[in-house]
């Protein structure tokens, strides 16, 4: 750099003026209500009649009027939020002694009852509108108003008869709002010998407004009731296309899966999420040293029990574990935790489980059942894909009982294999840091530096390992391997260079914007 020149720090923000930003104007103030099938959207009375019919409003008002709930929260998904104001107005007219709140932006998946948001107003009851997973709710009382969407039944019958023969074994299923048409569909298919309907179920502290199951079945699965236990010989006909987690779940249990889109009147048989891809992630569990438990719901029952069970299993396997509660995970949020090798997501099996089909996320994401398979001593792939919390907890208990029996039968059990590297079949390499917690047993902590240790340093290096309070820290190891260590870092150049003259040089401070957001100084001067 020539003498006399002054080093100027790079700009960390863009200078903002009228040429920097452009704004898109709102094209319309009206929201098209496709679910109501309005003939004249400007007819207010037709809108009121459609809303009362679609949401079974008279039945809901009667049910709330007979109850002792004073504070009621109304939870709407994004596609139905356009009806929320009208719904509150109609409910307040009929039930003036009750208080209503609208829950719009849900904390977790929109299909789950949002207990977190309801507790902010100390709600007595949550009324959930639209499609719902119907999973068991942990604490709060809930009612479901699914809605009654209209479909072209003749078109469904026509395409159904082209697809299936009269001798096929078929299960009729739909998302929660469209389930009310299944009985009518079955009656129109009397010539078919073996057709089964998947009925909705409700739990002890929940009930469904506007839906009455025709038959009570003993076997329950996928939050539905069936008269059969084995689905391997049955073909599934599903009205609407489920989300990826539910679709993968169904495709591994039925002989085939056919979905029908009521908006386009088209059938589809794939492509569906690939189960063999999950097998790859199971192997990656074995070679991962740090596992993050990604909690994507707090409303479902057994969530806390499952978190504690998974945490104990990970620690027992000698791996580090971090627990993070993220409402709506995305690529940017999870990318902030680069030291985590693999995520285990705890969420609703309807929409809360992340199935990364396009490799968007930087680290693999597995389910608790897949984590159990990966942490087992012997990995046996059964082809099952379990997401039900109760079933997963039972699988963990069975695994623990088998491990205890193996330990009792082998009195000479030792930890000689702790230092052995783990072979990763995905990369074809041996991994030496897959069990960081067990490595501490063989780590001799000794300060190799003769200088006085820096009390302000966050991390110190010991015996070519990184430890914090005598515990191996995989996050600190990852941080030390980074080339850029941040502003004001405690790390030095490890004595490689004696030239520290650049560290004392500063940069010219540049004056930033002044004023308030509605009118900065440069805006005022321009005018």
Give yes or no for a contact between 195 and 186, defined as CB atoms under 8 angstroms apart. yes
Integer angstrom CA distances of residue 31 from 49, 288, 424: 17, 48, 52
pLDDT at 448 over 70: no
Q: What are the residues whose beta carbons fall under 8 Å from the beta carbon of 48, sequence distance 6 or more?
A: 86, 90
Which one, of 410, 439, 406, 407, lies nearest residue 422 by Cα?
439
* Confidence check: pLDDT of 491 > 50: no
Q: How confident is the model at residue 519 (pLDDT cuts 50, 70, 90)?
A: confident
DSSP 133-146: --PPBSSSEEEEE-
Supply the pTM of this predicted model.
Answer: 0.76
> Is the distance from CB of 77 to CB of 103 less than 8 angstroms?
no
Query: For residue 192, what pLDDT is reported?
Result: 93
* H-run or E-run covering 313: helix 303-316
Orientation of helix 368-375 relative to helix 389-409, angle to 10°: 10
* Identical fold between 34-145 and 153-268: yes
Which residue is it, tokens 């040089």? 505
pLDDT digits (tens, 9 = 90+) for 374-423: 888 776 776 678 887 778 888 888 777 777 776 666 554 444 455 667 77
Give me the long-range contacts of 466-470 (CB less than 8 A, separation at least 24). Answer: 467/440, 467/443, 470/440, 470/445
> Tell me: the pLDDT tens digits for 263-313?
888 999 877 777 777 888 888 888 888 999 998 887 777 888 888 889 988
Alpha-carbon distance of 338 to 12, in angstroms, equals 23
DSSP β-bridge partners for residue 519: 516
Q: pLDDT tens digit string along 232-264?
A: 899 999 999 998 889 888 988 899 999 999 988
Flag the least confident range among 78-92, 324-338, 443-457: 443-457
Domain boundaries, the chain: 34-145, 153-268, 275-402, 443-487
> CA gyration radius for the chain?
29
More confident residue, 481 or 442: 481
Average pLDDT over residues 86-97: 94
Q: Does 31 have pLDDT greater than 60?
A: yes
Assign domain 275-402 one CATH number from 3.40.50.360, 3.30.2020.30, 3.40.50.10210, 3.40.50.11860: 3.40.50.11860
CATH number of the structural domain 153-268 = 3.40.50.11850
pLDDT of residue 219: 86
Q: Candidates 3.40.50.150, 3.40.50.1980, 3.40.50.11840, 3.30.930.10; correct CATH number of 34-145?
A: 3.40.50.11840
């Amino acid at each position: 750099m020539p003498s006399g020149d002054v080093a100027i720090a790079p700009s960390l923000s863009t200078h903002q003026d009228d040429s920097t930003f452009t704004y898109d104007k709102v094209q319309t103030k009206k929201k098209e209500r496709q679910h109501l099938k309005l003939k004249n959207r400007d007819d207010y009375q037709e809108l009121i009649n459609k809303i009362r019919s679609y949401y079974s409003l008279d039945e809901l008002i009667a049910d709330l009027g007979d109850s002792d709930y004073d504070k009621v929260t109304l939870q709407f998904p994004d596609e139905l939020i356009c009806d929320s104001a009208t719904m509150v107005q109609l409910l307040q007219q009929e039930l003036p002694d009750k208080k209503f709140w609208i829950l719009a932006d849900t904390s977790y998946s929109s299909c789950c009852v949002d207990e977190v948001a309801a507790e902010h107003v100390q709600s007595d009851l949550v009324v959930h509108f639209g499609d719902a997973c119907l999973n068991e709710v942990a604490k709060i009382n809930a009612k479901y108003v699914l809605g009654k969407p209209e479909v072209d039944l003749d078109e469904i019958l026509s395409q159904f008869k082209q697809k299936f023969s009269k001798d096929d074994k078929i299960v009729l299923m739909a998302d929660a709002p469209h389930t009310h048409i299944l009985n009518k569909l079955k009656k129109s298919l009397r010539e078919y010998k073996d057709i089964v309907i998947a009925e909705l179920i409700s739990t002890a502290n929940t009930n469904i407004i506007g839906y009455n199951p025709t038959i009570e079945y003993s076997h329950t699965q996928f939050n539905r009731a069936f008269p059969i236990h084995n689905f391997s010989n049955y073909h599934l006909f599903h009205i609407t296309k489920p989300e990826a987690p539910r679709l993968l779940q169904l495709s591994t249990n039925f002989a085939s899966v056919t979905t029908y889109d009521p908006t386009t009147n088209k059938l589809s048989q794939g492509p569906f999420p690939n189960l063999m891809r999950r097998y790859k992630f199971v192997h990656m569990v074995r070679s991962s040293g740090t596992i993050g438990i990604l909690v994507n719901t707090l409303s479902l029952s057994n969530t806390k029990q499952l978190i504690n069970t998974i945490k104990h299993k990970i620690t027992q396997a000698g791996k580090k574990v971090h627990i993070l509660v993220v409402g709506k995970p995305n690529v940017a949020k999870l990318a902030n935790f680069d030291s985590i090798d693999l995520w285990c997501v705890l969420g609703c099996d309807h929409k809360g489980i992340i199935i990364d089909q396009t490799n968007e996320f930087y680290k693999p994401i597995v389910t608790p059942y897949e984590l159990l398979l990966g942490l087992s001593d012997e990995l046996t792939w059964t082809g099952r894909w379990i997401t039900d919390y109760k079933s997963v907890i039972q699988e963990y208990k069975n695994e623990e009982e088998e491990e205890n029996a193996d330990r009792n039968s082998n009195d000479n059990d030792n930890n000689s294999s702790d230092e052995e590297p783990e072979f990763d079949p995905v990369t074809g390499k041996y991994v030496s840091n897959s069990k960081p917690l067990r490595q501490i047993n063989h780590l001799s902590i000794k300060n190799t530096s003769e200088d006085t240790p820096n009390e302000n340093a966050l991390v110190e290096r010991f015996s070519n390992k990184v430890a914090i309070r005598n515990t191996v820290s995989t996050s600190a190891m990852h941080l030390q391997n980074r080339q850029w260590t941040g502003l004001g870092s405690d790390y030095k150049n490890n004595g490689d260079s004696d030239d520290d003259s650049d560290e004392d040089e500063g940069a010219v401070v540049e004056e930033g914007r002044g004023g308030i957001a509605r009118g900065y100084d440069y805006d005022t001067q321009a005018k």
